[in-house]
Every structure is written in structure tokens, then in C-alpha cells.
Amino acid sequence: MEGGGGAHSSRTAEEVFRDFRGRRAGMIKALTTDVEKFYQLCDPEKENLCLYGLPNETWEVTLPAEEVPPELPEPALGINFARDGMEEKDWLALVAVHSDAWLLAVAFYFGARFGFDKESRRRLFNMINNLPTIFEVVTGTAKKQSKEKTSNSSSKNKPNSKMQSRPVESQTRASKMHSPKGDEDSGADEEEEEEEDHENTLCGACGDNYANDEFWICCDMCERWFHGKCVRITPARAEHIKQYKCPSCSNKRARV
């Protein structure tokens, strides 16, 4: 797909949202789990470079489209020029903000192109607005907002282990083991609070919410949670990790 564009068959708000979600996931990977590779590709010695998110949840750093006007709105030009003149976290946050703006532009370009009416545009915006922005994921704001929502229960309901296999049954058993005998009502309340707490947890790589049947792992450095599949960690492998560091934290230490 040239320049992140190409032919597209989306016709409904839901289809455009799937395209948005795929591109967003790719850009989040570039700025989190693939940040070392992204950093190296954004060489300030090269020409104007852009970060494109693709519908298949991948990303690419390349030159802008040559055709004028372009088939799709173009992302921010020259992201590589600011790389060495800023703190890395500030530079990544800046790229994230521009990436959010580009994703919205592409989504509503499709909306105009496919003749969305007021209701379809509202539905598309609401679906987009239910996801944290790339900026919120990259800067950790999404995690902070999640913690604020569950501030009354997070301290006692967060698992002590850095590893979660996440099935509801095992969570229920663990909760019962720590509940006083004979206090069934209290145990039920805690289980409900725990599930609500987990539902507000966001993956530090893809930004998606917790699901009951997924394996998650927590970084011991930044304390962000990740889908095991997003950071390529299996439950069996996690059993042998004494201190887990996510790709972003590992890369930061390597460059210091």
C-alpha cells in the first residue's frame, strides 16, 4: 500500500473504524514495542520522513507520497529532523500527537469520500473516542486515567504477581483464597471490583482493553501491562523471568 494509502473498500462507519484501529495499532507499535527500530529509521540525515500506520496493524517510515494531491491525507513531514534536538520521550510524544491528528484526518476523509451522513459521522467519532489516543498510550496518560477511575480499589485488587493468565475462574479462586472464611458477600464484592479494575487496564503496546481470556504481563520498571502476544512473551516463558522489562524500558537502558 503506497504511502499507507491505496485502494480501500470501506463503506460503513464500522469498516472505517476497523481501518482506523489497524493503523492506530501499527503506529502504537512503532512508538512503544518497536521504538528502537523506529528511532534508528528516523535518521536526521535523511530527507523528510513520515510515519504511516497501515490497516494490517503494521507501520512504516518512508518519504511522503509523490502524487499531488495525495490519495490520502499525509502525516506530519520531517519527524526525523527533530529527533536529536529533543529528549526522546518528548520527541515520541510529539510524533504521537501528529499521529493522532493524521488518523482522525484519514478516518473522516473516508467518511466524506463515502458520503457519511450526520449519524454515521457521529457513530464513527464515538467509536474512535472510546479508544485512548496514541499520545495517551505513549505518555502513560491512559494508564493514569485508568488508575484514577479505580483509585478506591486498585491498591487491594491489583495482582501481586507480575504475570496474569487472566481467566476469570483462576481470578475467582485467588480472590477466595485471600478472603476471610464465612465472608461470602465481601468476597463477591471484591471479585466484582477486581474485574472492573482489570477492564480499565490498557495494553502498553496496542492500547486495547483487558480481556478475560488473554495472558498479560507487567513491566517491573514502568509498571505498564502488556498483552503477552504484543511483547512476544508466553506464560511458559514468563515463569522463568525474574524481572520483566518491556521493550521500551530495555531499549532506554541500552542507549544510556
Give pLDDT tens digits for 2-61. 344 444 454 899 999 999 999 999 999 999 999 999 999 999 999 999 999 999 999 999
The per-residue b/e assignment along 213-251, b for 16 or more CB within 10 angstroms, e otherwise, is: ebbbbbbeeeebbbbbebbebeeeebeeeeebebbbbeb
User: Residue 207: which pLDDT band, with cuts at 50, 70 and 90?
Assistant: confident
Alpha carbons 189 and 47: distance in angstroms, whole number: 58
Nearest to 190 by CA among 175, 207, 212: 175
pTM: 0.60
Alpha carbons 147 and 155: distance in angstroms, whole number: 10
More confidently predicted of 132 and 168: 132
**With 70 as the cut, is the pLDDT of residue 97 above it?**
yes
pLDDT reported for residue 151: 54
Alpha carbons 143 and 140: distance in angstroms, whole number: 5
Which of the given ranges, 49-58, 69-78, 175-184, 197-206, has the highest pLDDT on average? 49-58
Give the pLDDT mean for 188-211: 66
Indicate the DSSP class of residue 243: S
β-bridge mates for residue 218, sequence order? 225
More confidently predicted of 219 and 178: 219
Pairing between strand 225-227 and 216-218?
Answer: antiparallel
Nearest to 124 by CA among 143, 142, 109: 109
**With 90 as the cut, is the pLDDT of residue 165 above it?**
no
Indicate the DSSP class of residue 202: B
pLDDT reported for residue 5: 42
**With 60 as the cut, is the pLDDT of residue 75 above it?**
yes
- And the C-alpha cell for 189? 464484592
Please, what is the end-to-end C-alpha distance for the chain in angstroms? 36
Q: What share of the chain has pLDDT > 70, as a percent? A: 71
pLDDT reported for residue 112: 94
> Vertex 249, ends 217 and 81: CA angle to 5°?
130
- Neighbouring residues of 126: CB distance < 8 A, sequence distance ≥ 6: none
pLDDT reported for residue 201: 76
The alpha helices in the chain, defined as continuous H runs, are 13-31, 35-41, 88-113, 118-129, 134-139, 141-149, 154-157, 168-177, 184-199, 235-238, 247-255
pLDDT digits 0-9 by tens, 148-157:
655 544 444 4
Q: Which helix (H) or strand (E) holds 216?
A: strand 216-218
For residue 145, give the 3-state DSSP assignment: helix
Alpha carbons 29 and 134: distance in angstroms, whole number: 10
The mean predicted confidence, pLDDT, of the chain is 79
Give the pLDDT mean for 67-90: 91
pLDDT reported for residue 144: 65
pLDDT digits 0-9 by tens, 209-236:
777 778 888 888 888 888 888 888 888 8
pLDDT reported for residue 2: 39
β-bridge mates for residue 216, sequence order? 164, 227
For residue 227, give the 3-state DSSP assignment: strand
